[in-house]
Amino acid sequence: GGEVERALTMVDGVLLLVDASEGPLPQTRFVLRKALGRHLPVILV
Instruction: List the domain boundaries for the chain.
Output: 2-44
Q: What is the pTM of this model?
A: 0.80
pLDDT by residue for the chain (45 residues), tens digit each?
699 999 999 999 999 999 999 999 999 999 999 999 999 999 999
Beta-carbon contacts of 21 under 8 Å, excluding residues fewer than 6 positions away, are none
pLDDT score recorded for residue 5: 92
Backbone angles phi, psi at 43, to 5 degrees: -110, 120
Q: What is the pLDDT of residue 18?
A: 92
